[in-house]
């Protein structure tokens, strides 16, 4: 079974600064997907970024980027130029590939609560 570990329950960063959230996972799969989801106080789950394990290049989405280290099973999220609206809970998640006829669940970490301050 896959496990996802987020070792930082809470983080704080000043506006405009950069912060990195850690995530490690354990799997015997060679191909899989990794995600970061943002959950603001509204509790909606918002996809931040996705990484395919077979791609060596790290995914980026505007101010959000990842450092994917497959051998180390590490998947950290870097938020640059932090904004007040980035204040939220951030969840790392793992998914095996979807195969035709087989749904694939997400396995989540316990989350990191990020507070962006003035």
Partner 1 sequence: EPEVTQTPSHQVTQMGQEVILRCVPISNHLYFYWYRQILGQKVEFLVSFYNNEISEKSEIFDDQFSVERPDGSNFTLKIRSTKLEDSAMYFCASSGIQGTRGWGYTFGSGTRLTVV
Q: Which of 92, 85, 89, 114 is nearest to 13 (CA)?
A: 114
Among 53, 109, 114, 116, binds partner 1 (CB under 8 A): 109
String of contacts with partner 1 for each residue 66-95, x by CB under 8 A: -------------------------x-x-x
Among 7, 18, 104, 117, binds partner 1 (CB under 8 A): 104
Among 17, 97, 114, 116, binds partner 1 (CB under 8 A): 97
> What is the rounded distance in angstroms from the CA atom of residue 1 to the CA atom of residue 40?
29
Dihedral sign (CA 96, 49, 39, 13): positive
> What is the rounded distance in angstroms from the CA atom of residue 9 to the CA atom of residue 75?
16
Task: Work out whether 11 is an interface residue with partner 1 (CB under 8 A).
Answer: no
Stretch in the footprint of partner 1 (CB under 8 A) among 15-23, 37-45, 55-63, 64-72: 37-45
Among 17, 18, 26, 98, binds partner 1 (CB under 8 A): 98
């Amino acid at each position: 079974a896959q496990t996802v570990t987020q070792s930082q329950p809470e983080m704080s960063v000043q506006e405009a600064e950069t912060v990195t959230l850690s995530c490690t996972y354990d799997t015997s799969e060679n191909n899989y997907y990794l995600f970061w989801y943002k959950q603001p106080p509204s509790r909606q789950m918002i996809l931040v970024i996705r990484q395919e394990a077979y791609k060596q290049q790290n995914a980026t989405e505007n101010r959000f980027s990842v450092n994917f280290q497959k051998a180390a099973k590490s998947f950290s999220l870097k938020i640059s130029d932090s904004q007040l609206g980035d204040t939220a809970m951030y969840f790392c998640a793992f998914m095996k590939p979807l195969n035709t006829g087989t749904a694939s669940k997400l396995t989540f970490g316990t989350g990191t609560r990020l507070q962006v301050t003035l």
